[in-house]
Amino acid sequence: MSYDELIKKVKRISTLGNIGGLLGWDQETMMPPNGLKVRSEEMALISELSHEWFTDDKIGELIEAAKEEQLDEDQQANVREIEWEYRRSKALPTEFVVEYSKVTTEAMEVWRKAREDNDYASFAPFLQKIVDLNKKYAAYIDDSKDAYEVLLESYDNGLTLQQISTFFDELKTAIVPLIEQTNDQTDISLKEKKVPVEKQRNAARALAEYVGYNFKKGRIDESTHPFTGYESRITTRYEDDWVMTLMSTIHELGHGMYEQGLSEEARGTPLGEAASLSVHEGMSRFWENNIGRSKAFWTGYFPKVNEAFELNSDLDTFYGVLNKVEPGFIRVDADELTYTMHIILRFEIEKELLDGSLSIEDLPRVWNERMQKYLGITPENDTKGCLQDTHWAMGSFGYFPSYALGNIVAAQLLEGAKKDIPGLMEQVAKGNFDKLHDWLQKNVYDYGQKYHTGELVERATGKKLSTEDYIAYMREKFQ
């Protein structure tokens, strides 16, 4: 069958991509600083070969032949997603792919130093190159569409720019007043307790084991910016703020457990990959917030942290600290209420950079103005402002909206799980996540990319994707 030959070739290309993923993981966790030049060349070669193999005319011929064969639903879904990706990849010249890889690999190191030195000027030329490359990318794919629409599709195929803009307008209308009305006077001195890095490292592993992360498939390492990479491996960072260490760890565990739940049999094909970035972020936000910031979760787990960190505290005090609303500059450290506004700010800036209404030179100023407008604070430097995230250096324009979309997905999935699992939060309080894992496996993990975000969530919950459950969740918790 042409289908079988197509899948064999696609899996081979996926394996090459996994090698690139391993190189990227190494760059973020273990690579010596002087390894950048060689790593840039290695990554460029991987990108070049992957692109050449996938855009070979033979792949297109096999896709067309497979579409004429008798295929079941899963096979049809595989062909549909492979064809969609093939058409986009075929539109990109190989030399463009190589250039993109080289620029972003170098930009990552420039950004890392710029962030450390609070030196936006040194990163700005690379950011300009990346914006220009993203515009070229979008034009190659479909020059009849808004460039940002094309980029968003790379992460969330099936959700339109108009849908996302509408969702975010609804969120702004609901959340900004909640932030303005909040006057949280919770004493957070508990966070000032100095917890040695080794104790935090042990706690991160213990937390992973508690929620069900499989260390036979993954591991935890340390990086500047926490991420989940090659083979469900996660990273975290150990900070003076040990609460943030715990929460960034459980966020990445959500990503890692999703990766571990994907079909091994379908590995290397669309059915063995995450449905979308918004679903992926939905899984991380689900575990970080809907489960990990709930009182039920800490009813079961706080005694372990209290003992390990010698806090001499109690659950109610810790729960107040964990959920304190206080607008801050750093997205990854943001409380649950203000977090979404960090994403909407980035969404608006990305749109404006790509349509030309915002210049690279003006970005820091506009960033600070929006922070003041949405969160009532202004960063004192660019390290705490527009330099804080790695995504633009990676070239990932269109990625940020997935975080806020993930909040929407997570809240709706939580309601679906509660409906299907009586006493869910009581089980969470006992540290029993078996039924929840089974529900996520059945309703999310098993499908891979068989369904796009909206259809996947609707099948799991019986309702169309909307902001309703997320807004209700936020109002109930914070109003």
Contacts of 67 (CB under 8 A, 6+ apart): 79, 83
What is the rounded distance in angstroms from the CA atom of residue 418 to the CA atom of residue 411?
11
- Please list, residue by residue across 169-195, b when 16 or more beta carbons sit within 10 angstroms of its beta carbon and e when fewer do: ebbeebbbebbeebeeeeebebbeeeb
Q: Can you read off the two tokens belonging to residue 410? A: 């997570």
Residue 308: which of 246, 221, 400, 374 has the closest Cα?
246
pLDDT at 183: 83
Beta-bridge mates of residue 221: 235
Q: What is the pLDDT of residues 214-268, one digit of tens each?
A: 999 999 998 877 888 888 999 998 888 899 899 999 999 999 999 999 999 999 9
Residue 246, H or E segment: helix 242-261
Do 36 and 109 meet the contact criterion of CB atoms below 8 Å apart?
A: yes
pLDDT at 98: 87
Q: Tell me the one-letter amino acid at 49.
A: L
Q: What is the DSSP letter of 325?
A: -
Residue 232: which of 263, 253, 249, 247 has the closest Cα?
253
In three-state secondary structure terms, 107 is helix
Going by their DSSP bridges, the two strands 234-236 and 220-222 should be labelled as parallel
Q: What is the DSSP letter of 191?
A: G
How many angstroms separate the first and last alpha carbons of the chain?
A: 59
pLDDT at 182: 85
Residue 234, H or E segment: strand 234-236
Do 283 and 257 meet the contact criterion of CB atoms below 8 Å apart?
A: yes
Known active-site residue 198: no
Q: What is the DSSP letter of 35?
A: G
Q: What is the DSSP letter of 30?
A: T
What is the rounded distance in angstroms from the CA atom of residue 219 to the CA atom of residue 90?
35
Rounded to 10 deg, the angle between the 161-181 and 147-155 helix axes is 80
What is the rounded distance in angstroms from the CA atom of residue 328 to the CA atom of residue 333?
8
What is the rounded distance in angstroms from the CA atom of residue 9 to the CA atom of residue 214?
29
Residue 248: which of 299, 292, 304 has the closest Cα?
292
From the candidates 149, 252, 259, 336, give the one annotated as an active-site residue. 252
Got the DSSP string for 137-173?
Answer: HHHHHHTTS-HHHHHHHHH-TT--HHHHHHHHHHHHH
CA distance readout (Å), 356 to 131, 160, 398? 10, 20, 16
Do 288 and 254 meet the contact criterion of CB atoms below 8 Å apart?
A: yes
Q: Can you read off the two tokens belonging to residue 54? A: 């996938």
Q: What is the DSSP letter of 358?
A: S
**Locate tokens 């899963």: which residue?**
74
Residue 231: which of 264, 259, 261 has the closest Cα?
259
The distance from CA 376 to its chain's CA centroid, rounded to whole angstroms, is 26
pLDDT at 240: 86
Write out the CATH class of domain 162-478.
mainly alpha
Residue 21: which of 43, 6, 4 has the closest Cα?
43
Angle at 294 between CA 290 and CA 295, to 5 degrees: 165
pTM of the model: 0.91
- The phi and psi torsions of 400 (rounded to 5 degrees) equal -50, -45
Residue-range domain boundaries for the chain:
2-90, 162-478
Q: What does the pLDDT profile of the chain (479 residues) look like in tens digits?
A: 999 999 999 999 999 999 999 999 999 889 998 898 899 899 989 989 999 999 999 999 999 999 999 999 999 999 999 999 999 999 999 899 889 989 998 999 899 999 999 999 999 999 999 999 999 999 999 999 999 999 999 999 889 999 999 999 999 999 999 999 888 899 999 998 999 999 999 999 999 999 999 999 999 998 877 888 888 999 998 888 899 899 999 999 999 999 999 999 999 999 999 999 999 999 999 999 999 999 999 999 999 999 999 999 999 999 999 999 999 999 988 999 999 999 999 999 999 999 999 999 999 999 999 999 999 999 999 999 999 999 999 999 999 999 999 999 999 999 999 999 999 999 999 999 999 999 999 999 999 999 999 999 999 999 999 999 999 999 999 98
Radius of gyration of the chain (CA): 22
pLDDT at 204: 95
